[in-house]
Structure 1
Amino acid sequence: MDQATAPAPTGFHLWDPEEDDILVCRAVREETHDVKTFVFAPRTRRRFVFDPGQFLTFEFEIDGETIYRCYTISASPTRPDTCSITVKRVPNGPVSNWLHDHFKPGMTLKATGPMGEFSWARHVSASGKYLLISGGSGVTPMMSMTRAAYDLAEIRDTVFLHAARTPADIVFEDELAMMSRRNRSIRVAHVCESDAPGRSWPGLRGRLSAGMLEAVAPDFREREVFVCGPSPFMNAVRAMLQGAGFDMARYHEESFNFEELSPGEKAEVETAAEEMAPAARTFRIEFAKTKRVVECPEDMPILEAAKRAGLRLPSSCTKGLCGTCKSKKVSGEVEMTHQGGIRQREIDAGQILICCAKPRSDVVIER
């Protein structure tokens, strides 16, 4: 029985965002100069159940605007009374800067989840060997998985490979070293691009390369590989593994990128445009706050049409799973097929996920 389906201990109830989606911040911990961990608990005595590597979607009210963001749970499901997210401050990032500058213990946030397939609980290695590769804040799902293995004293052959800019940017460095010392099935290696002020780096230096991968995990072709980090980092790792003859059926990746339209998304939009049937009806989509209007064919999700027109809107999974693109529909009709990223009461209140909502009339959206 995996963590996602395990029953709550006797005398405890599970946290259910359908009943109460408010989480209370219990602690804020500084991890590095620009990374903080935020620890949450339900308002009542309830426990969290999730697979290590899954994420929560949070609702933020910042400067009068509602913003949705996905954050991977960095805590282990073996400690179910609290959960935590670990957030890196992003230059000009509205949510990360607000969290770092204003969010304190005792404050509350709305959240829903857990969600996601990025977990070794859902992609079990036939060989019993795992390789976790992360860059920057992509360390968080890897930390959740490794913490779970450590807490359960699992003999799970795990290589934890993390890339950082400098040694001052290595998140969870001390805890990873401790877990590696006390559970010999966990091996940790870091790669740093350069030294930090006042601290030189004696380990692997530069950008992650095929040679480094061979040195750290010479048997990587036998392992189940999980990768998380910025899009360019994941693209490079993916190409590296493909070039080395790795079986990509055992490759899994996760990324939440809200600042840019990734090459993959651009390709999806272009492909959708090319494949669009000439006879498809087109509807007018108005974004009320920005006064932008785009044309959207009836067989194209509103998000794709908006991105094709140059609008940069919050999105992540593009599959109706994470809830990041949740928006208020002021008027009009849409057809929406989602995967759990929105609740029925939100739909009843006029909310839609624009990544999987296709217009059936002209639509006005409160964005």
Structure 2
Amino acid sequence: MAAPSPILDAGVWHDSEPLECVSILPEAPHTATFTFRAPSGALFDFQAGQFLTLEIPVPGGPVHRTYTISSSPSRPRSISITAKAQETSVGTRWMIDNLAPGMKIKAIGPTGLFCMAQHPAEKYLFISAGSGITPMMSMSTYMFDLGTRSDVVLINCARRPSEIIFRERLEHMASRDPGIDLKFVVEEPDIYRPWTGYQGMFNQLMLGLMTPDYLEREVFCCGPEPFMQAVRDALAGFGFDMEHYHQESFHAPVANEEDIPELDDTVPEEGARAEIVFAASGVTGHCAETDTVLAAAKASGLNIPSGCTFGVCGTCRIKKLSGEVHMVHNGGISEDDIEAGYILACCSNPIGRIEVEV
């Protein structure tokens, strides 16, 4: 009788055992997938969307860095993380430059609450930017491997098509599972390579076009905070129930429910009143916070030139002198203009008292 397989007998991996690197796969500029196995042959047990904390032996002493698992629990013989080295990166840069197959590294976990299993639903919407695709890759692969019909719209945003992580793998799954609806958004095309998909910054208009039934979906979002803020603004502007919105930050994944930060977005309140001082005209108008600055100006007998009225054309750009607005635009204003204090009157709601240069 043949001896039992040591792999089958090794049980479930625990973080008391170091991980052994088995492969490194370049994914995009400064981005790679690192795949590990348990030297004992143990299997990995985790939920799609969870993360690992690696102890990285950089010069001067080890550092601990947290990475979302990009592989699926349906493939338990190995575990992978996908990481991008930023300009100021220490740990990830060391891994890309030094980690090699056969090397061992300590890990803590898996853990985390950004998981489908924590929020079961019939329909999902995954929205990510850059390496925020990693938990979405794990969850999408898990659904694909189950063999049942998925119902997920997966939106990933990147600077250029060449920087879309997992593009070929995602397209492969979507080509075989009609329930995976794949959308890519890029800020600009690659030179000499035409791009026929969505282009620009992700906005409310794109969301409505990509996912008409967004109100029926459980939403998972991962990316830089400004990106996630734009997603939250777009959803809230459409009346989405934010109880069904879940996000994972690049910098602050959480393992315990009590550590999940409260989303304290400033949004117009039903019934709340606002005051708008039109400085150049010497007029002060009163309105509801749910009214736009453009509507309030017209009600006060003032004319702000406007075109589309939903934040695309930029015709109604004005300078905000003080106060706070809630603005959900669709690409009609640049980040530089926003930082300089400009707003689009057609899609900005006054919060309390504001002053504008009109």
By the TM > 0.5 criterion, same fold? yes
Which of the residues 186, 194, 202 maps onto 1:208?
202
* Structure with bigger gyration radius: 2
SS at match of 1:177: helix
SS at match of 2:118: coil
CA contact (8 A) 1:54 1:72 kept: yes
Cα displacement (A) at 1:197:
2.6
SS at match of 2:9: coil
Provide the residue aligned with 1:305 in structure 2. Answer: none
Q: What do the CA deviations read for 1:102-159 (whole angstroms, capped 9, x no partner)?
A: 111111110011100101111011xx00000000100000000000111111212100
Cα displacement (A) at 1:66:
2.1
Q: Normalising by the residue count of structure 2, what TM-score does the alignment of the two structures yield?
A: 0.67
Cα displacement (A) at 1:214:
0.9
CA contact (8 A) 1:70 1:256 kept: no
CA contact (8 A) 2:158 2:164 kept: yes
Mapped to 2, the partners of 1:86 and 1:198 lie a distance apart of 28
Mapped to 2, the partners of 1:65 and 1:107 lie a distance apart of 17
Matches of residues 1-367 of structure 1 in structure 2 within 5 Å? 11-18=9-16, 20=17, 22-125=18-121, 128-257=122-251
CA contact (8 A) 1:59 1:110 kept: yes
Mapped to 1, the partners of 2:215 and 2:195 lie a distance apart of 28
What is the percentage of aligned positions where both structures have the same residue?
42
Unpaired runs of 5+ in structure 2?
Answer: 1-6, 253-260, 265-358
Cα displacement (A) at 1:255:
1.2
Mapped to 1, the partners of 2:64 and 2:215 lie a distance apart of 37
CA contact (8 A) 1:135 1:229 kept: yes
Cα displacement (A) at 1:92:
2.1
Cα displacement (A) at 1:12:
4.3
Mapped to 2, the partners of 1:221 and 1:229 lie a distance apart of 21
CA contact (8 A) 2:24 2:101 kept: yes
Amino acid at match of 2:188: S
Amino acid at match of 2:140: T
SS at match of 1:235: helix
Total equivalences in the alignment? 249
Give the direction of change, closer, same or farther, for the CA distance of 1:197–1:101 in structure 2 (3 Å limit): farther
Cα displacement (A) at 1:200:
2.4
Give the direction of change, closer, same or farther, for the CA distance of 1:189–1:102 in structure 2 (3 Å limit): same
Q: What do the CA deviations read for 1:241-278 (whole angstroms, capped 9, x no partner)?
A: 111110000000001328xxxxx79x9xxxxxxxxxxx
Q: Normalising by the residue count of structure 1, what TM-score does the alignment of the two structures yield?
A: 0.66
Q: Please identify, of 97-106 and 77-86, the stretch whose mean Cα deviation from structure 2 is larger.
A: 97-106
Mapped to 1, the partners of 2:192 and 2:65 lie a distance apart of 35
CA contact (8 A) 2:10 2:40 kept: no
| Misfit runs of 4+, over 3 Å | 9-12
Mapped to 1, the partners of 2:138 and 2:130 lie a distance apart of 15
